[in-house]
Amino acid sequence: MASGRDVREMLGLPGFDGPKTAPAAKRSKAAVPGKKIQGVAREVAALYGERPPPVAVYEEKKSYRAKRQSTGPAKKWVLQPFTNQARSDGLVLKHWRRKPTSLPTAQSGEDIAIDEPNSGENTDVYIEDSGEFLRYAVQPDMPTFSDEEYNMHLRSDDWSREETDYLFQMISDFAYRWPVVWDRYEYKPSSNSHLSTAQDVPDMENPLATMPYAPSKSRSVEDLKARFYDISAKLMKLRIPEVQMDADQYATYEILTKFDPVLERNRKNLAAALMNRNMDEVKEEEFLLAELQRINMAANRLDAEREELRSRLEAPVPNTQVSAGLASFTSSTALAQLFSQLFQQDRSKKRAAGGGGGGGAGPGRLSLSAADHLTNTPTSTSHGGALSGVNRRQSLAQPAIQTPVRHLSPNAELRYNVSTHERLTSGITFGADKLLKMRQAKSNVQTQKIGQALAQLGIADIISIPTARVGDAFESLITKVSKLLDVRKVREKEEGECRVLEAMKARRMSEIQGDDDDDDDDNRTRREIQDSQERESPSGNGEDDDDADADADADGDADGDVDVDAEGEEEEDEDAEGEDVESQMQQSTRQASEAMSTRATSTGHKRSASVLSQTSTKSNKRARK
Amino acid sequence: MNIPNSSTAPNAGEYAGDEVSAIVLDPGYSTTRAGFAGEDVPKSVCPSFYGQIDKDSSSHYLFGENAIHDPLGNLQIKNPWGSDGIVENWDTATKVWEYAITSRLTGSRPSHPAKNGLNDANTNGNGESVDVDMEGLENLENTEKPLGDSPLLMTEPGWNSVKAREKYIEIAMEEWGTPAFYVQKTGVLAAFASGKASGIVIDVGASHTSITPVLDGMVLRKGVQKSPLAGNFVSNQIRLIFKQAQPEIPLTPHYLVKSKTQVDAGTPAQATYRTYDIPPLDSFRRNEEERVLTEFKESVVEVWSGNGRFSNAANEEMAARLPGRPFEMPDGWNQLFGAERYRAAEGLFDAGAALHDADNPKPKDEHTIPRLIQAAVQQVDADQRPLLLSNIVVTGGSTLLYKFNERLNNELNVIYPSTRNKLIAPGPLVERKYAAWIGGSILASLGSFHQLWISRKEYEEHGTNIVEKRCR
Ligand SMILES: Nc1ncnc2c1ncn2[C@@H]1O[C@H](COP(=O)(O)OP(=O)(O)OP(=O)(O)O)[C@@H](O)[C@H]1O
Ligand SMILES: [Mg+2]
């Protein structure tokens, strides 16, 4: 071929160019698989194609066997007689061995001599002494005892000396293979006190008739073990006192003494019962196991997901326990943070996706704050108008999603604690957090005051089961508390003003008149004030007490109600006080026309507030009932 | 350099091999197997049946495959084994076994190399040929006995009697002159052949099925179970099927047919038959029929391996819809066998489904293979049961029945659903049939085994009962 191409090349024939490139390409392609696979026939390697098997199934360095070197004459083999060192009877067997080169040549000279028929008498044949397999001739380690020892310590009511010896013989014969020992254990007490092994002999004559003997006491494996371990332990203790045993020995001793045949027998019965279960039971177990595995897998997956979430949040990795991991999210701030981060991610994703759909609903409009979601309550709206504005905007931006809702009867809704919402916020809020949030006002002072008021009412910091209804009640309570606080603030302000005005008036009076009239007048008004207080407060109190009693009687969960009532009472007091102040003022401000306007508005405010609170408490009570 | 794997031979030191040219003899009801230890197949497989011609108060015996199928006048075919699975006729058993050993293995004693003429050309040879030094061979006394210098390992069934074992060693020592002897149970050896020291061995041979629990190379005697439901039982079932068929299926052995012509399925045979002046006896015919039946077992009989037992009405219907298998008798008669072919072996697993008549009584329920296994396992220490069930060795010629293992597996999983039951059934036919022999071949070629031989000296010292003490 090459020569043909050469010829064509020399002659400058056409068709030279074509074939030239093709074989070149072919060759290079063939060369690409690169390193020739070692140890595999070329034909087989060709079958691999582009992708050689991932695991080499050939020997690494296999090549053609080196040519046999003929190093001198053929080695001779001899059928070598040998004795086995593990045998005591000097049995001579023969195996093939290389003829030792160092063998005295005289032996080979003897060849002919040995040929004589009487070669059996030949004693100078080399007999190999083979100890090659000596290591396989192992004798089991057995405890031994003397007659005195037996009589002193090892006697047993259940076991004769003869049978004990038989047992030891069996154990040694079968090298502690208890199932085999038990299987072959056929002790027959002999009439004369010979060794038990010797009395097998008469039995030989009549192999099939093993029955003529009365069946010996049948012993279970546990019985055999118990006897043997008992003896071993006693012997061990005799040889080495307990205190002198080293750790290993003591461990063995413990095992020997702790053996409990009854326990062992029970265990075996259980094992047998386990094996003899029927198909259904096995199926059930399999099913349960599969289920368990499924649950485990789900739990693992959940863990992994949480782990991933946590690592995304770049939170300091808490300990791996699930509960602990969850605990770090129980505080509302942590959750709020989590939410905002998630939301941020979500948003950036949306933005990346192009935000094709809603032209109007730009990302800016959706800028919710975490607080918005977590404190989506009327309280918060009353606290901050800005937030409610955001809410409104959001509700505008998110058209109500229509999902088919299965309607429950109101009764059932109550029972299953199902609530329907006009609008759902994404994410999860905790009822407890909602309650916690309600306690917080804008200013620290206010928060403290609310806290104090609640503490006074005996409401715990953490309400254990914050259901929706409890939330509602709490919410109205908080509303009232904050209103009352407002009222109190106003009152304090007014009182302050009054004092100032009074002081002013007094000074003016002293300036203008400076005599007793004034004093009398003053005293009178004071008395009036006291009277009115005495007159009015008992009635108010009485009324409210009645209410409270009624409540307490009506329902067992008196706490909340009573609290509310007490609050109402307080409120009433304040009202009364307010009226006092009013009347006092009506009297005192005839001259001070300047202050009239403010007073009027403040009283009006007070009135309305008290009315409102009163009605609300009433309605609240009614609802509870 | 040389990574040990299944295809590279281990070093001699590794497997503790040390061959002493021992002979392994595995006598069975149908065949007797013999060969040198260390080889992978018995060199000599002879029928255990022998021929006997009684001629004026003396008997003439015939041995070997060629002789017993020769239709001589007055020839009767006998078997030395008794119905209990133990040798009954010791004289002929000895002769059969000796034939198995001498016909192929030891043969005539070699003459001296210097005189036999084979080495004449070697005087000026170049030394390439392996020159065997014969000096060792001639050293021992040149006995006339067949086993003058080969130790003998024999196999015995698990239920062999003490008397029978003593007879074994007596024959080996006194009549064959072996220097060393050992006898081991077939169950243990079959387990060894599969590389297991512990397990349950299920051996379905010709005359007996046996279950042998083996632990660390030792038979658990209490667990050994046997039953007569094996190859011969299946043969008898087939005979019953033939007899009960409508019309009856004729069973004509080869030696009666001179020539045959092709006939349609199910139509009577058209063959010319041979006649003999002095015909062989009935037992000869029966043995010849047995050959045809074995052929039938090999090619037609199938073990039902679907759901449940074959006797369920649904299963029989389903079986009838499966394609049949054709069989042609020596005389040309032929037919397609449909659902019947499942019936022959069903009795091994389900006594209720076995056919029976006056001569063939209904088999006992506790003789079926599943019940035997259950009984065997029950007799074993509870702790060892799972171990044994995960090593179930299947051996014996009749386990070659088509789908036998599938069925066995199904049955086992029904009995023991909660354990891991694993069948170990060697694929190659030879390993399945000759597992006991192969195990013996392995055992007798181990260097560590040589401590266990009963030597002639020990035999002479202690007498025959040494076998009870040494071969436990
Ligand atoms: N391929 C086959 N399919 C079915 N049966 C077979 C097959 N080959 C042999 N057999 C049967 O197996 C039996 C012989 O098996 P095996 O050689 O294991 O018995 P054995 O060891 O001589 O007898 P035993 O163990 O009872 O003493 C015979 O009954 C024969 O019909
Ligand atoms: Mg057999």
- Which three-class secondary structure string do you get for A276-322? CCCHHHHHHHHHHHHHHHHHHHHHHHHHHHHHHHHHHHCCCCCCCCH
pLDDT in tens for each of the 472 residues of chain B?
445 555 566 665 667 788 888 999 999 999 999 999 989 999 999 999 999 998 888 889 999 999 899 998 889 999 999 988 999 999 999 999 999 999 888 765 555 555 555 555 544 444 444 444 444 444 444 446 788 888 999 999 999 999 999 999 999 999 999 999 999 999 999 999 999 999 999 999 999 999 999 999 999 999 999 999 999 999 999 999 999 988 899 899 999 999 999 999 888 889 999 999 988 899 999 999 999 999 999 999 999 988 888 888 888 888 888 888 999 999 999 999 988 889 999 999 999 889 988 888 899 999 999 999 999 999 998 989 999 999 999 999 999 999 999 999 999 999 998 889 999 998 888 999 999 999 999 999 988 898 899 999 999 999 998 999 888 8
d(C-alpha B63, C-alpha B92), whole Å:
10
Helices (H) and strands (E) in chain A, counts: 24, 3
What pTM was estimated for this model as a whole?
0.62
In degrees rounded to 5, what are phi and psi of residue A84?
-100, 125
Omega before residue B113 within 30° of 0, cis: no
Q: How many whole angstroms separate alpha carbon A309 and alpha carbon A247?
A: 51
Interatomic CA distance for residues A397 and A395, integer angstroms? 5
How far is it, in rounded angstroms, from Cα B212 to Cα B373?
Answer: 9
**Between chains, do B130 and A92 touch, taking CB under 8 Å as contact?**
no
Give the Å distance between the CA of A113 and the centre of ligand 1. 51
Amino acid present at A552: A
For A251, the token pair is 């461990």
Chain A: residue whose CA lies nearest to B455: A91
Which residues, chain by chain, have CB under 5 Å from ion ligand 2? Answer: B 28, 205
**Exposure pattern of A492-510 as b/e (b: 16+ CB <10 Å)?**
eebeeebeebbeebeeebe
Centroid of ligand 2 to alpha carbon of B204 (angstroms): 7
3-state helix, strand, coil in chain A (%, to 5): 65, 5, 35
Amino acid code (one letter) for A504 = M
Contact B300, B328 (CB under 8 A): no
Superfamily of domain A147-188+216-276: Homeodomain-like (1.10.10.60)
Chain B residue at shortest CA distance from A82: B20
CATH (one of 3.40.50.620, 3.90.640.10, 3.40.50.720, 3.10.580.10) for B231-347: 3.90.640.10
pLDDT at residue B437 in the model: 96
**What's at A541, amino acid-wise?**
N
Q: Helix (H, G, I), strand (E, B), or coil: what is residue B203?
A: strand
Nearest chain B CA: its distance from A84 CA (Å)? 7
* Residues contacting residue A72 through CB under 8 Å, at least 6 positions apart: none
Q: Do A136 and B448 touch (CB under 8 A)?
A: yes
Q: For residue B402, which ligand has an atom nearest its CA?
A: 1
- Is the complex ipTM higher than 0.90? no
Count H helices and E strands in chain B, helices first.
Answer: 16, 20
C-alpha–C-alpha distance, residues A537 and A530, integer Å: 11
The b/e string for A221-255 (b: 16+ C-beta within 10 A; e otherwise) is: bbbbbbbbbbbbbbbbeeeeeeeebeeeeeeebee
Tokens of A255: 């095992």
**Shortest CA gap B419–chain A (Å):** 7
Give every CB contact of residue B106 below 8 A, 6+ residues apart in sequence. Answer: B23, B146, B147, B150
Give the closest residue (by CA) to ligand 1 atom 17.
Answer: B397
Q: Which ligand is closest in space to the CA of residue B186?
A: 2
Ligand 1 centroid to residue B68 C-alpha, Å:
18
Q: What confidence score (pLDDT) does residue B151 get?
A: 93
Segment holding A11, helix H or strand E? helix A2-11
CB neighbourhood size of B30 (10 A):
20
pLDDT of residue A349: 65
**Of B24, B25, B29, B402, best ligand 1 pocket probe by most atoms within 8 Å of the beta carbon:** B29
Q: How far is CA B434 from the centre of its chain?
A: 6
d(CA B253, CA B287): 9
Give per-residue burial for A384-415: e unless 16+ CB within 10 Å, then b: eeebbebbeebeeebeeeeeeeeeeeeeeeee
Residues paired with residue B36 on neighbouring β-strands, in sequence order:
B23
**Residue of B138, B160, B449 to mutate, interface with A, max A Cβ within 10 Å:** B138
DSSP SS3 for A402:
coil
- Specify whether the backbone of A355 is left (phi greater than 0), alpha (psi in -120 to 50) or beta: left
Instruction: Provide the CA B273 distance to its chain's centre, in angstroms.
Output: 33
B22 lines ligand 1 (CB under 6 A): no
User: Which residue, among A276, A176, A154, has the nearest Cα to A221 in the 3D structure?
Assistant: A176
Q: Give pLDDT, residue A314.
A: 67
CA distance A563 to A458: 8
Q: What is the pLDDT of residue A96?
A: 85
Token pair recorded at residue A151: 């009589």
**Cα A208 to Cα B84: distance, rounded to the nearest angstrom:** 12
Whole-angstrom distance, CA of residue A227 vs CA of residue A156: 9
Please name the residue whose Cα sits nearest to atom 20 of ligand 1.
B28
The ligand minimizing its distance to the Cα of B207 is 1
Select the residue of A99, A115, A133 nearest B138 (Cβ to Cβ): A115
Could you tell me which chain B residue has the CA closest to the CA of A176? B216
Give the domain ranges of chain B: 231-347
User: Which residue among B142, B417, B451 sits closest to A86, beta carbon to beta carbon?
Assistant: B451
The residue of A76, A91, A173 whose CB has the most chain B CBs within 10 angstroms, and thus the best one to mutate to test that interface, is A91
The answer, yes or no, to whether any atom of ligand 1 lies below 6 A from the CB of B30, is yes
Q: What pLDDT is attached to residue B348?
A: 93
At residue A535, the pLDDT reads 46
Q: Do A74 and B135 touch (CB under 8 A)?
A: no
Tokens of A143: 């405890």
Probe residue for ligand 1, chosen from B297, B348, B393, B394 as the CB with the greatest number of ligand atoms within 8 Å: B297
Ligand 1 pocket residue status of B400, Cβ below 6 Å: yes
- The predicted pLDDT at position B326 comes to 92
Instruction: Return the SS3 of B315.
Output: helix
∠ Cα A147 A149 A151 (to 5°): 70
CB-based contact A475:A435 (threshold 8 Å): no
Whether ligand 1 lies within 6 angstroms of the CB of B397 is answered as yes
Walking along chain A (625 residues) 10 residues at a time, the average pLDDT comes out as: 62 53 45 56 74 62 68 82 86 84 47 38 66 81 88 86 90 91 85 44 42 58 91 88 83 88 91 87 91 94 90 63 53 74 72 47 40 42 43 46 63 75 74 79 83 84 78 86 89 92 90 59 50 45 43 42 41 45 47 45 45 45 46
Residues of chain B neighbouring A180 (CB-CB closer than 8 A) = 215-216, 218, 220
**What are the sequence ranges of the domains in chain A?**
77-96+125-138, 147-188+216-276, 431-512
CA-based nearest distance B132→chain A, Å: 6
Strand (E) or helix (H) holding A333: helix A332-353
Token readout for A8 is 């064509």
Q: What gap in Å lies between CA A582 and CA A588, rounded to an integer?
A: 9
CB A184 within 8 A of CB A170: yes
- For the Cβ of B82 lying below 6 angstroms from any atom of ligand 1, the answer is no
CB count within 10 Å of CB A23 equals 12
What sign for the dihedral angle of Cα A51, A57, A61, A62?
Answer: negative
Residue nearest to atom 5 of ligand 1 (CA): B398
Ligand 1 atom with minimal separation from the B436 CA: 21
Residue B45 Cβ < 6 Å to ligand 1 = no
A206 — phi, psi (to 5°)?
Answer: -130, 75
